[in-house]
Structure 1
Amino acid sequence: MFKNAIVRKPARSMVNGLTSASLGAPNYELACQQHADYVQALKECGLNVLVLPSEESYPDSCFVEDAALMTPDCAILTRPGATTRQGEVALIEAAVKSHYDAVYTIQSPDTIEAGDIMMVGNHYYIGLSDRTNADGADQMIRILEENGMQGSVVEMSEMLHLKTGLSFLENNNLLVCGEFVSKVEFDKFNRLEIPMDDAYSANSVWINGTVLVPAGFDSTVEKIQALGYQVRVVEMSEFQKLDGGLSCLSLRF
């Protein structure tokens, strides 16, 4: 069960954020409304939410997930592969340390973003992407093992982040999309395949029995509800324009 979340308000500079999407520039005012509803959804799931102020110097800084990995026993500050985002780690360090006694840091020159890390119990799947390299994954796995956890790497070639196409919903259920549909690493799971037309909804988030799902993907909602989960739909259009998904907007622990 999760108890806490850390989020950061969007900055007006988000219009200059990193993106490969061709959906136009985000509307800042609408993004703020959607972010406020996202925070409300986290609270509805029983979380205490720490809302950090916006950081205009970092257009992508509302996507706090990439800057740290929060485990039950320790936190690990990452080193993002996007050089324009590396300063975000120092900005969130104090908030992370306010909740954890044991905080580790990924050392340069290795890179890893927590959007490439999926937690399943005490095992952490780490995707090797343009943002996360093998050395960064090795560092992360060593830290996890020092703290009684495990990690393994997943080769990737299509998705931006591992969790762009994967979401673990607990009870052995896994949303999968694109290149992850046939990955042998996930054969043991009950895989709910999301078609590429609905790929954005593959990044949904399980929180204490409720699954947050981006608005506009009714078929994904139906598949998740058929397994007995409660669903909370969240509007995410302005963050989708920046390649940001539901998991990206918070650190949950």
Structure 2
Amino acid sequence: MFSKAIVRTPCKAMLEGLTEAEMGLPDYDLACEQHQGYISALKECGLQVTILPPLESYPDSCFVEDVALLTSKCAILTHPGAPSRRGEVPHIVKAVEQSYPSFEHINFPGTVEAGDIMMVGNHFYIGLSARTNAQGVEQLIDILGKYDLTGSMVEMSELLHLKTGVSYLENNNLLTFGEMHHNPIFNQFKRIEIAKQESYAANSVWINGTILVPKGFPNALNAIQQLGHPTIELPMSEFQKLDGGLSCLSLRF
């Protein structure tokens, strides 16, 4: 169960954010409106939400998940693989240290973005991607081991981040897309396969028994609702244009 979340207000410079989506520029005002809806959903799920101010020097800074991993036992500050995002890390420290008196660090040449990390209980699946390298994965697994937590590396070749293609919805249920449909590391899970045309919905988020689902993907929503959890649909169009999903917009702990 989660009790808190940290989010960061989108900045106007988000129009210059990193993206491979080819969906056009986001509408800043609509993005802010969608972000407010996201915050309301977090609160509806029972979370106390800390809202950080925009960082105009960092266009992707609203995707706050990537710069830290907050576990039940420790906080780990990452070293993003995207050079333009590395300066975001010091700006998360003040918010994190209110709940974690000390933290661990991923250090160069290791790179880790927490969009590549999926938590299942006390185990962490870590995607090897263009943003998270093998040295970063090794450092992360070593740090987790200090706190009696475990981690394993997930090979992948098609996804930007691991959680672009896989989301854990508790009770052994896993949303998958693309190459994650058949990755043997997830054979023990019940996989709910999301079709290519609704792939964005593979990044949905379980919070305290409720599942947040991006709006506009009816087949994925129906499959998720079969699990019996309440769902909240959220419009995410402006963040989708920047390759950002529901999990990317908050640190939940």
**TM-superposition CA deviations, 1:45-69 (whole Å, max 9, x none):** 0000000000000000000000000
Matches within 5 A, 1:21-170: 21-170=21-170
Distance 2:191 2:109 in 1: 35
1:234 is matched with 234
- Percentage of matched positions with identical amino acids: 61
How far is 1:93 from its partner?
Answer: 1.1
Distance 1:91 1:183 in 2: 36
Distance 1:248 1:105 in 2: 20
- Opposite residue 138 of structure 1, the aligned amino acid is E
How far is 1:192 from its partner?
Answer: 0.1
SS at match of 1:153: strand
**TM-superposition CA deviations, 1:4-48 (whole Å, max 9, x none):** 000000000000000001110000000000000000000000000
- Opposite residue 237 of structure 1, the aligned amino acid is S
Identify the range of structure 1 (219-228 vs 154-163) with the bigger mean alpha-carbon deviation. 219-228
How far is 1:102 from its partner?
Answer: 3.2
| Residue 251 in structure 1 maps to residue 251 in structure 2 | yes
Distance 2:75 2:181 in 1: 30
**Contact 1:73 1:102 (C-alpha < 8 Å) held by counterparts:** no
- Opposite residue 65 of structure 1, the aligned amino acid is E
How far is 1:186 from its partner?
Answer: 0.3
Structure 1 unaligned blocks of 5 or more: none
- Opposite residue 5 of structure 2, the aligned amino acid is A
How far is 1:108 from its partner?
Answer: 1.4
SS at match of 2:174: strand
SS at match of 1:159: coil
SS at match of 1:86: helix
How far is 1:221 from its partner?
Answer: 1.0
Structure 2 unaligned blocks of 5 or more: none
**Contact 1:129 1:160 (C-alpha < 8 Å) held by counterparts:** yes
**Contact 1:74 1:101 (C-alpha < 8 Å) held by counterparts:** no
How far is 1:101 from its partner?
Answer: 2.1
TM-score (ref. length: structure 1): 0.99
**Contact 1:123 1:150 (C-alpha < 8 Å) held by counterparts:** yes
**TM-superposition CA deviations, 1:127-155 (whole Å, max 9, x none):** 00000000000000000000010000000
Identify the range of structure 1 (95-104 vs 23-32) with the bigger mean alpha-carbon deviation. 95-104
Distance 1:106 1:227 in 2: 36
CA RMSD of aligned residues (A): 0.5
1:195 is matched with 195
- Opposite residue 239 of structure 2, the aligned amino acid is F
Distance 1:109 1:154 in 2: 19
Distance 1:149 1:131 in 2: 23
Distance 2:2 2:45 in 1: 9
**Contact 1:168 1:206 (C-alpha < 8 Å) held by counterparts:** yes
- Opposite residue 110 of structure 1, the aligned amino acid is G
Distance 1:227 1:32 in 2: 31
How far is 1:94 from its partner?
Answer: 1.1
2:181 is matched with 181
SS at match of 1:87: helix
SS at match of 2:35: helix
SS at match of 2:139: helix
Distance 1:75 1:239 in 2: 26
**How many residue pairs align between the two structures?**
253
Which ranges of 4 or more aligned residues in structure 1 deviate by more than 4 Å? Answer: none
- Opposite residue 10 of structure 2, the aligned amino acid is P
How far is 1:227 from its partner?
Answer: 1.1
| Residue 19 in structure 1 maps to residue 15 in structure 2 | no
